[in-house]
C-alpha cells in the first residue's frame, strides 16, 4: 500500500535537522508521493534533506544558489516572478503559498 501524502509529510517533519514548515513538507510530500511506487520504499531523509531546500521566496532561493541579481527597477512582485521563472529553468521548483521548495542543483 502506498503511503499517503500526510504520512510522508509527517515523516519529513520528523527530520529535526531539516528546516521545513508544515506547508513546505506537504508540498514536498506531494511530489514524493507521485514519484514513489509503494509504502515499502523507505525514505532516505538525509538524501531528501540534501536534495531539497525550502525558502520563504523564490528570490531568496535564487540568490542563495547563485549570483542571481534581481532587476532593481522591478517591484517586489515582479522580482519574485522573475526569480521563480529563472529557478524553473534551472531545477525543479515546488511553489506553495508561503514559499518554495527547490531541488538543489
What is the spatial order of strands in the sheet that 99-103 belongs to? Answer: 52-55, 99-103, 93-96
pLDDT at 39: 52
Q: Please give the tally of structural domains in the chain.
A: 1
pLDDT at 35: 80
pLDDT at 2: 75
pLDDT at 37: 65
Q: Can you list the pairs that 63-71 forms with residues at least 24 positions away whose Cβ atoms lie under 8 Å?
A: 65/90, 65/102, 65/104, 65/105, 66/90
CA distance 48 to 89: 21
Domain assignment of residue 98, given as a range: 5-103
CA distance 17 to 65: 20
pLDDT at 23: 97
pLDDT at 1: 64
pLDDT at 77: 96
Low-confidence ranges of the chain (pLDDT < 50): 40
pLDDT at 75: 96
Amino acid at each position: 500500500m502506498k503511503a499517503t501524502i500526510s504520512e510522508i509529510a509527517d515523516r519529513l517533519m520528523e527530520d529535526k535537522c531539516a528546516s521545513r514548515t508544515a506547508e513546505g513538507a506537504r508540498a514536498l510530500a506531494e511530489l514524493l508521493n507521485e514519484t514513489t511506487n509503494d509504502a515499502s520504499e523507505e525514505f532516505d531523509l538525509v538524501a531528501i534533506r540534501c536534495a531539497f531546500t525550502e525558502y520563504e521566496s523564490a528570490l531568496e532561493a535564487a540568490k542563495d544558489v547563485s549570483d542571481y541579481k534581481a532587476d532593481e527597477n522591478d517591484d517586489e512582485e515582479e522580482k519574485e516572478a522573475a526569480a521563480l521563472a529563472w529557478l524553473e529553468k534551472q531545477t525543479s521548483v515546488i511553489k506553495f503559498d508561503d514559499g518554495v521548495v527547490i531541488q538543489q542543483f
